[in-house]
Amino acid sequence: MPASKQRVAILGASGYSALELIKLLLRHPNVEITALTTRQTEPRPVGEVHQSLRGRLDLALENLDAAAIAKRADYAFCCLPHGASASAAKELLPLGMKVIDLSADYRLSDPLEYAKWYGLDHVDRDNLKDAVYGLPELYRDDIRTANLVANPGCYPTSAILALAPLLEAGVIAPEGIIIDSKSGVSGAGREPKPHLHFAECNENFAPYGVGTHRHMPEIDQVLSDAAGMSVETIFTPHLVPMDRGILSTSYAVPTGDTSTEELLANYLEFYAGEPFVRVLSGLPATKHVAGTNFCDLTARVVRGRVVVLSVIDNLIKGASGAAVQNFNLMCGVPETTALL
């Protein structure tokens, strides 16, 4: 463990993921938060933007350029919108900073796929080649030595942790996988929109982005890597009237005879020693992982089909907690620091 603390900057610090990240880092014995950035011109005390932080962090959100950030910090967590994030990282990396990007900019390895799904030319193809997908359960060793980590999307984390072990083991077929996901509303961000208005989404349950959500190609890419062959999933996200939590119900066709017991044994072996994946014999519930970095999961064989149920807190294991887990790996402190 390094004797001194790491100096940390959070870019785009006004959103919900940034707030959770700040709360986690305030408890981190190896971290000093030294900069919070915003794209607004006027600096504002962080306690005005996040009222829950009043009296806990005496720092302003400022409009800082890359040089100013690099002077103050060793690590940058980017909570910027896609596009803006790659522009920032492109400038920070040559200045010697390590970057953990919570946007989608470095998740898809193929810039053409990125352009197709995000409607943007990728501005930082050079660094994209070296970016590591920040899911420790699959890519832990690469994360340790990475300078640029692409923090996974929330839905992909819940789906990949559920399906990668079975694909890697060849237990399920790569064709026709269905991922039916349900998310709390905080995942949609902090900007007021009609469908996120309380009186619209309270007491309401609805699908969105059916067959068109940008997390679909991300899931496919990582699952294809796990399977060693091309995987194309059918992904359906829904909005649940609650603050936080994702449950993904995944359906797959087994490649041979299997049973609930075999599936659970497979998970227990795959996730042996993992600090943040809990394999359950009972059914998971989002509330049991709320506010934590855990992924709880289980599986069942129903009428010859494999049904996998996995839950995470979308803001923690699906965003800020995973970012801290990646940070811990990158700077060589115990992986669970500030996360239990």
Catalytic residue IDs: 154
Taking the C-alpha atoms of 217, 309, 319 and 136 in order, what is their torsion angle to the nearest 10 degrees?
A: -80
**Token duo for residue 290:** 């709320």
Q: How far is the CB of 329 from a copy of itself (least distance, A)?
A: 20
Q: Does 270 bind a copy of itself (CB under 8 A)?
A: no
CB-based contact 54:29 (threshold 8 Å): no
- Here's the x/- map for a copy of itself, 10-49, by CB under 8 A: it reads as ------x---------xx----------------------
Tokens 């996974």 appear where?
152
Rounded to an integer, what distance in angstroms lies between the CA atom of residue 9 and that of residue 69? 7
Structure tokens at 181: 């996901």
Could you say which of 176, 228, 332, 334 contacts a copy of itself (CB under 8 A)? 176
By rule CB under 8 A, what count of residues binds a copy of itself? 74
Residue 314 tokens, joined: 């979308």
> Measured from the CB atom, is 126 or 198 closer to a copy of itself?
198
Among 207, 228, 332, 334, binds a copy of itself (CB under 8 A): 207
> CA-CA distance, 299 to 306, in Å (whole number)?
7
**Closer CB to a copy of itself, 21 or 290, in the complex:** 290
Give the nearer residue to a copy of itself in terms of CB position, either 99 or 316: 316
Q: Which 292-311 positions form the footprint of a copy of itself (CB under 8 A)?
A: 292, 294, 296, 300-303, 305, 307, 309, 311
Phi, psi of 123 (to 5 degrees): -90, -5
Is residue 113 within the footprint of a copy of itself (CB under 8 A)?
A: no
Asked if residue 283 binds a copy of itself (CB under 8 A), the reply is yes
- Judged by beta carbon, residue 42 or residue 191, the one nearer a copy of itself is 191
Instruction: Provide the greatest CA pair distance for the chain.
Output: 63
Sheet holding 75-78, edge to edge: 44-45, 60-62, 31-37, 6-11, 75-78, 98-101, 148-150, 132-133
Handedness of CA 136, 83, 191, 46 (dihedral sign): positive
In the shown chain, the binding pattern of residues 312 to 331 toward a copy of itself, with x for contact by CB under 8 A and - for none, equals --------------------
Nearer to a copy of itself, 191 or 257 (CB): 191
Please say whether the dihedral angle defined by the alpha carbons of residues 2, 7, 10 and 16, taken in this order, is positive or negative. Answer: positive
Which member of 2, 194, 256, 273 binds a copy of itself (CB under 8 A)?
A: 194
**Interaction of residue 71 with a copy of itself, rule CB under 8 A:** no
Single out the residue of 147, 238, 262, 264 in contact with a copy of itself (rule: CB under 8 A): 238
